[in-house]
Amino acid sequence: MYTLYYSPGSASMVVHLALLEIGVPFRLVKLDFEHDEQRGAEYLKLNPRGQVPTLVIDGKPYFECAALLLILAGRHPEARLAPPPGSALRADWYQWVVFFANALGPVYRQWFYPSDLGSPEHPPFVRDALRAKIEGAWSLVDAHLAAHGPYMLGAEFSGVDLLALMYMRWSRNMPKPVTAWPALRQYADRLRTRPSWARLYEAEGLTEWRA
């Protein structure tokens, strides 16, 4: 059985969604960020970065949400979260997983946690620069979906769509949420009809941006 250490609505979402899509047994351990449980001594033994997610696999902890998605897709090929090795789409799968992890993950982190840069609040020019990076990435994805959708790899759903869905949710209160782009709006609506999305919302007690 897998054990997922998570916080509702955080970067653990994609791993939680992947586990639900795969349909394997797993245990959830919620970390209370308000009480800094992610920085507790016991948790730091599992994840020295003091972040979520951490996924314990066969007694060994692993972290980094995109890496965990890759691991789960490889361990459960029957779930078809990734194109099979040798498929023409396998390279596209790697490209888009790394794109989302690199182009959006760190920038969102800086947007939401200005304290990481040593300030309680970003100066306007920093905030504008971060917003431009995020919106530029979403513009690229919107153009890709308009030309090659309905999913990131074309006709077939894959795990990279779960990663995109997590980051799309994070945009919900930004000056320009993803639903402001036409192809992204349709994409988000399509993904939010999946049973795994409803099950995650129930399990994590989320309400915003459900559908």
The predicted-structure confidence for 124-172, as pLDDT tens digits, reads as follows: 999 999 999 999 999 999 999 999 999 999 999 999 999 999 999 999 9
Task: Specify the pLDDT at position 46.
Answer: 96
Answer yes or no: is pLDDT of 36 > 90.
Answer: no
Q: What is the pLDDT of residues 165-189, one digit of tens each?
A: 999 999 999 999 999 999 999 999 9
Per the structure block, which two tokens stand in for 199? 């099950």
Taking the C-alpha atoms of residue 206 and residue 142, their distance in angstroms, rounded to an integer, is 26
Answer yes or no: is pLDDT of 64 > 90.
Answer: yes
Q: In this structure, are 61 and 137 located in the same domain?
A: no
Domain that holds residue 174: 90-194
Task: Specify the pLDDT at position 16.
Answer: 98
Long-range Cβ pairs for the range 187-193 (8 Å, 24+): 187/145, 187/149, 187/150, 187/151, 190/150, 191/161, 191/162, 191/164, 191/165, 192/165
Q: In this structure, are 71 and 103 located in the same domain?
A: no
Q: In this structure, are 77 and 94 located in the same domain?
A: no
The rounded percent of the chain whose pLDDT value lies above 70 is 100
Q: In this structure, are 103 and 128 located in the same domain?
A: yes
Q: How many domains does the chain have?
A: 2
| Residue 209 covered by a domain | no
| Residue 210 covered by a domain | no
Taking the C-alpha atoms of residue 154 and residue 10, their distance in angstroms, rounded to an integer, is 27
| Residue 211 covered by a domain | no
Banded pLDDT at 117 (limits 50, 70, 90): confident
pTM (2 d.p.): 0.96
Task: Specify the pLDDT at position 202.
Answer: 98
Answer yes or no: is pLDDT of 193 > 90.
Answer: yes
Task: Specify the pLDDT at position 94.
Answer: 98
Task: Specify the pLDDT at position 55.
Answer: 98
Q: In this structure, are 188 and 103 located in the same domain?
A: yes
| Residue 152 covered by a domain | yes
| Residue 158 covered by a domain | yes
Q: In this structure, are 94 and 190 located in the same domain?
A: yes
The gap from C-alpha 106 to its chain's centroid, in whole angstroms, comes to 12
CATH for 131: 1.20.1050.10
Mean pLDDT of 32-60: 92
Task: Specify the pLDDT at position 116.
Answer: 84
Q: In this structure, are 156 and 130 located in the same domain?
A: yes
